Structure 1
Amino acid sequence: MGSNISSVYDVPSSMESKNGLIVKIESRRQWRLLFDSMKGSKELLVIDFTAAWCGPCKAMEPRVKEIVSRYPEVVFARVDVDRLMDVAETYKANTLPAFVFVKRGEEVDRVVGAKPDELVNKIEKHRV
């Protein structure tokens, strides 16, 4: 998937880092397209649940961009919980930031809180 993901998912506001991409999910349709396409894939999807008012989320943002650049084979999706409450509720993203790891449409792990080292460890564990 990698670098052409923004055109595939009609994601005009994706945030590119050096080698990776964070897909900023702005609508339910966009979420559904991404999620459905990942169901049949072996690729790891990391959903970054965040909110504009969340201080720890803002503090994690530069670290997340750095992590994304180290794992271009992993798909990262940023979901604002206030904008897409139903998606946040589906994954019980009640404490922020929350990072949910999904493979083939199923949650395989999660990291809750601003824990960049734990985030990296779990990416390492699930990316293959």
Structure 2
Amino acid sequence: MSCSLKAGFPVSVSDETIIKNRPIGYFGVCPSIVNLQFAHSKSREFMGKPIQFSDQKFFSNRNAKASRHIPTHYAQASICISRGLRWWEKTLMPNMIEIHSAQELVGSLLNAGDRLVIIDFYSPGCGGCKALHPKICQLAESNPDAIFLKVNYEELKTMCHSLHIHVLPFFRFYRGAEGKLCSFSCTNATIKKFKDALAKYGTERCCLGPAKGLEDSELMALASTGQISRKLQPNFTKGDNEKEESVLKEIILSSKETKMGFKEGNAVLMA
């Protein structure tokens, strides 16, 4: 017996076969039929009576129902793509913190108390930074009381220009009320420079007064460009006019250097 299903294509099957093999809940449509392309039949009648139907709506609903039965692990496997850690994310220690803004850097220095803080300026494309990274992680592990702040030059280029960072890798040491202790650039070949600074400033000491953090001129430079809140810039009294003038001069000089750096294509020396 020949009949035309709602999908609009002829199928030659017997009534007995349809009754026996009809899947429950799918209106007697065999799953293999769903995968067939639409073949519109010229006949729009069934047993002499006109019928109306919507092919696309029926099959879109059918496919939607079928998709709900896809196993979860198959769906997860299709969208889950494993990504290996980038080199600056590998072997990080708990006392190594990634900095994402100037505000975060200033706050981390002010909240460090008497602990030694080391700022590590690096760039993802710097070969010297990549080679030195494993050793810095080892030194961070052997000095758990120190805080290592990692600053991505490419992500915070404007801030790095304001802090006069023009060579990579570059390091700065800070501690409590003493503020900045030293700053230098080193590579694998000159790692002794880093170890010597760590041995010199890594010993516990008591610093009277709150943590100083960045220099006043650096804070004002960051505030003038909107990178930090105005509340964090230094407040000068009437007796500090000379100090304020010197700070403003430093900011003018730093802004000129920053503009020159941008004009030169934001070039930075990488070891």
Quick one: which of 130, 135, 159 aligns to 1:63? 135
Please show how residues 1-128 of structure 1 align to structure 2 within 5 Å: 16-17=92-93, 20-38=94-112, 41-104=113-176, 106-114=179-187, 115-128=190-203
Once superposed, which parts of structure 1, at least 4 consecutive aligned residues long, lie more than 2 Å away? 27-30
State the identity %.
Answer: 19
SS at match of 1:92: coil
Alignment: residue pair count: 112
Report the structure, 1 or 2, having the larger strand content: 1
Q: Distance in 2 between matches of 1:30 and 1:95?
A: 22
Gapped regions of structure 1 (runs ≥ 5): 1-12
Change (3 A) 1:86 1:108: farther
TM-score under structure 1 length normalisation: 0.76
Corresponding letter in the other structure for 1:116: I
Contact 2:186 2:194 in 1 (8 A): no
Q: Distance in 1 between matches of 2:191 and 2:122?
A: 15
Gapped regions of structure 2 (runs ≥ 5): 1-88, 204-271
Query: Could you give the per-residue CA deviations for residues 65-115 of structure 1, whole angstroms, max 9, x where no partner exists?
Result: 011011111100000112112432343221100011112262111230213
Contact 2:97 2:150 in 1 (8 A): yes
Change (3 A) 1:100 1:51: same
Structure with the greater relative contact order (CA < 8 A, sep ≥ 6): 1 or 2? 1
Corresponding letter in the other structure for 1:52: P
